[in-house]
């Protein structure tokens, strides 16, 4: 039957992209963004993985950039980095955390990449004699990407950004529609996420917006199989009935996603039998997923025994999505230590106070802050104030975790105050400085294209025996003990200048980890301090609820004590 089907299409179309094993779930959305379509996709992934299937995931983004690297976090939330040095949308981070798999650059598809590839092929002469068009050339390119991605998985879950009739979306939706046609509908599932609008005067749940979104999808020949309703409170029976009736979707497949902790979402979906429905439909098996471990962790998150406050001191603190991985990494440590973590946000430029020592002290004691995390950023805004905070925390034994730029700031502060290098700075903030303890590496200086100067992706570091950081990785079982090797993700341009290594080390600056050849500083710590750790990497990108990162665990532990 299937072979027949393929043959039929081989004669009709120029290309056959599809293999019969593909099982695809497309997640679409409508009305407003921020509906948890990423969390919905990731939660489905978690359920499928916990049921024993191999899962992969991807995000289709409409923008023309090749990657998310050049966008400010205020534009698009935090930038995530894959192990294979690719900068992506932060949804990929949700996917990795939820399905507990490392994804690659192939999981991040943008319109820019698709068009670049089509144009390269066009110039190479691949389409000679043909008119190059959105259909079939652009849509085939998208389908090809999906095929490659799903080759080694039982299920591929693909999130599509953009709503129906968005000017940026048609090529993705057409590719999605064609795949359903090529693959037979049994192998493709459409999950549509839309909000229940609640009118605050009567608190009545309104379904019209959702009904319209389903109609819109039908205009492009997509019929949602599952409808996920984002709602502030559980759906009343009549709402489900009405949606089922007017959207022509079985009532059992109207799923509610009530406002809650994101880690609860897979559990909530499981309770509504979504896992069983998908498994039955795709694999004809009567089984569900096993989320017992997740349930235990969620219980710890929901019922903490202690409480602390952590100050996130950074440049983009006004938007939670900008530092979401840091916030979530703290939550992972929270689940591990039964300790609720309240977050205090004060942007670096907001505390340019006169008499800063007293004011900083007052802020810290008023807010009851027991630890500080300084996440990474680019540009010089707020740097001098961070240097002040670095000195304050070193002197006052306040637990401090410095991430990426943080390590650079901590080094500058240390160089100025302890090593007597008065004009210590970074080439990023003082391009002509002659005491740049943080600098661009010699090998990168000739590079003119900005992107190429970035150290991106996963890099090895060797930790020094008997350092706190090494023992910490050991305590939490995240180090290769035979070589003291750890792998962390990077996204930065500058490094501790090797010309200053000696001078810094003479002044008990403890380098707890370097690149395998010893040239790049990866971790530093300060002995006799409650917790003062810095890393050139972004450990928050690897933290997961079932595998919290040692540096965050230690921060919480030090703060509780």
Q: Which residues are catalytic?
A: 404, 538, 540
Task: Give least dist CB 272 to ligand GLN, A.
Answer: 40
Strand partners of residue 80: 88
Distance between CA atoms of 107 and 105, rounded to whole angstroms?
Answer: 5
Can you tell me the distance from the alpha carbon of 58 to that of 85, in angstroms, rounded to the nearest whole number?
A: 16
Q: Shortest distance, CB of residue 42 to ligand GLN, whole angstroms?
A: 24
Nearest one of 494, 274, 256, 531 to 402, comparing CA atoms: 531
Nearest to 553 by CA among 460, 473, 486: 473
Closest separation in Å from C-beta 345 to ligand GLN: 18
Q: Do 172 and 62 meet the contact criterion of CB atoms below 8 Å apart? A: yes
Q: Which stretch binds ligand GLN (CB under 6 A): 61-69, 84-92, 131-139, 371-379?
A: 371-379
Q: Report the C-alpha gap between 59 and 521 in whole angstroms.
A: 34
Q: At closest approach, how far in Å is the CB of 183 from ligand GLN?
A: 41
Residue 176 binding ligand GLN, by CB under 6 A: no
Verify binding: residue 376, ligand GLN, rule CB under 6 A: yes
Asked if residue 283 binds ligand GLN (CB under 6 A), the reply is no
Q: Residue 433 has which token pair?
A: 């400085």
**Does 80 engage in binding with ligand GLN (CB under 6 A)?**
no
Nearer to ligand GLN, 45 or 382 (CB): 382
Contact status: 493 vs ligand GLN (CB under 6 A): yes
What is the dihedral angle through the alpha carbons of 283, 267, 337, 347, rounded to the nearest 10 degrees? 100
Residue 456 in contact with ligand GLN, rule: CB under 6 A: no
Residue closer to ligand GLN, measured from CB, 23 or 493: 493
**In 54-148, beta strands by DSSP E:** 55-61, 80-81, 87-88, 108-110
Binding to ligand GLN by residue 427, rule CB under 6 A?
no
Q: Does the protein bind ligand GLN through residue 47 (CB under 6 A)?
A: no
Q: Which of 177, 242, 491, 549 binds ligand GLN (CB under 6 A)?
A: 491
Q: Which residue of 405, 437, 496, 526 would you call a contact of ligand GLN, by CB under 6 A?
A: 405
Number of residues that bind ligand GLN (CB under 6 A): 10
Q: DSSP E strands: which ranges in 104-164?
A: 108-110, 155-160
Which of residues 276, 492, 542, 549 is near ligand GLN by CB under 6 A? 492
C-alpha distances (whole Å) from 390 to each of 336, 450, 521 are 28, 29, 18
Residue from 428, 439, 488, 522 touching ligand GLN (CB under 6 A): that is 428
Angstrom distance (rounded) from CA 109 to CA 191: 19
Find the part of the chain contacting ligand GLN (CB under 6 A) among 63-71, 326-334, 356-364, 376-384.
Answer: 376-384
- The single residue among 66, 378, 417, 471 that binds ligand GLN, judged by CB under 6 A, is 378
Closest C-alpha to 398, from 421, 429, 367: 367
Does 392 bind ligand GLN (CB under 6 A)? Our answer is: no
| H-helix or E-strand spanning residue 366 | helix 356-366
Q: Does 494 bind ligand GLN (CB under 6 A)?
A: yes
**H-helix or E-strand spanning residue 145:** helix 139-150
Binding site for ligand GLN (CB under 6 A): 376-378, 404-405, 428, 491-494
């Amino acid at each position: 039957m299937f072979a027949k089907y393929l043959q039929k299409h081989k004669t009709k179309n120029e290309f056959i992209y599809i293999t019969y094993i593909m099982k695809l779930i497309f997640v679409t959305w409508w009305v407003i963004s921020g509906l948890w379509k990423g969390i919905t996709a990731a939660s489905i992934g978690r359920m499928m993985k916990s049921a024993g299937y191999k899962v992969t995931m991807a995000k289709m983004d409409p923008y023309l950039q090749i990657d998310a690297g050049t966008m400010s976090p205020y534009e698009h939330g935090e930038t995530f980095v894959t192990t294979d040095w690719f900068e992506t949308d932060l949804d990929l981070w949700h996917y990795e955390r939820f399905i507990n798999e490392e994804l690659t650059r192939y999981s991040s598809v943008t319109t820019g990449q698709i068009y670049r590839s089509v144009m390269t092929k066009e110039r190479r002469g691949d389409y000679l004699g043909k008119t190059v068009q959105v259909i079939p050339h652009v849509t085939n390119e998208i389908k090809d990407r999906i095929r490659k991605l799903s080759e080694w998985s039982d299920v591929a879950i693909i999130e599509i950004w953009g709503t129906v009739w968005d000017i940026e979306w048609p090529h993705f939706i057409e590719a999605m529609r064609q795949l359903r046609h090529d693959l037979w509908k049994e192998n493709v599932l459409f999950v549509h996420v839309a909000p229940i609008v609640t009118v605050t005067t009567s608190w009545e749940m309104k379904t019209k917006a959702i009904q319209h979104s389903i109609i819109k999808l039908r205009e492009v020949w997509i019929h949602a199989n599952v409808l996920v309703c984002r709602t502030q409170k559980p759906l009343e029976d009549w709402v489900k009935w009405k949606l089922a009736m007017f959207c022509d979707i079985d009532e059992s497949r109207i799923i509610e996603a009530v406002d809650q902790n994101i880690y609860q979402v897979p559990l909530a979906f499981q309770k509504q039998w979504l896992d069983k429905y998908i498994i039955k439909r795709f694999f004809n098996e009567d089984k569900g997923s096993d989320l017992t471990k997740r349930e235990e962790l969620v219980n710890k998150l929901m019922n903490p025994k202690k409480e602390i406050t952590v100050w996130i001191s950074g440049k983009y603190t006004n938007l939670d999505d900008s530092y979401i991985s840091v916030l979530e990494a703290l939550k992972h440590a929270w689940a591990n230590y039964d300790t609720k973590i309240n977050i205090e946000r004060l942007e670096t430029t907001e505390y340019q106070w006169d008499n800063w020592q007293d004011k900083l002290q007052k802020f810290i004691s008023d807010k009851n802050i027991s630890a500080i995390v300084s996440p990474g950023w680019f540009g010089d805004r707020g740097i001098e104030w961070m240097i002040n905070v670095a000195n304050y925390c070193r002197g006052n034994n306040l637990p401090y975790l410095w991430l990426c730029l943080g390590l650079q700031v901590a080094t500058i502060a240390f160089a100025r105050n302890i090593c007597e290098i008065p004009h210590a700075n970074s080439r990023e903030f003082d391009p002509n400085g002659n005491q740049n303890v943080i600098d661009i590496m010699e090998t990168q200086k000739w590079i003119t294209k900005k992107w190429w100067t970035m150290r991106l992706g996963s890099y090895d570091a060797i930790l020094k025996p008997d350092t706190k950081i090494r023992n910490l990785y050991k305590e939490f079982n995240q180090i290769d003990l035979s070589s003291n090797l750890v792998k962390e993700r990077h996204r930065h341009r500058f490094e501790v200048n090797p010309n200053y290594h000696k001078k810094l080390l003479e002044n008990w600056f403890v380098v707890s980890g370097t690149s395998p050849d010893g040239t790049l500083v990866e971790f530093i710590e300060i002995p006799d301090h409650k917790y003062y750790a810095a890393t050139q990497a972004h450990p928050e990108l690897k933290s997961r609820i079932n595998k919290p990162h040692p540096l965050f665990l230690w921060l919480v532990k030090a703060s509780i004590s």
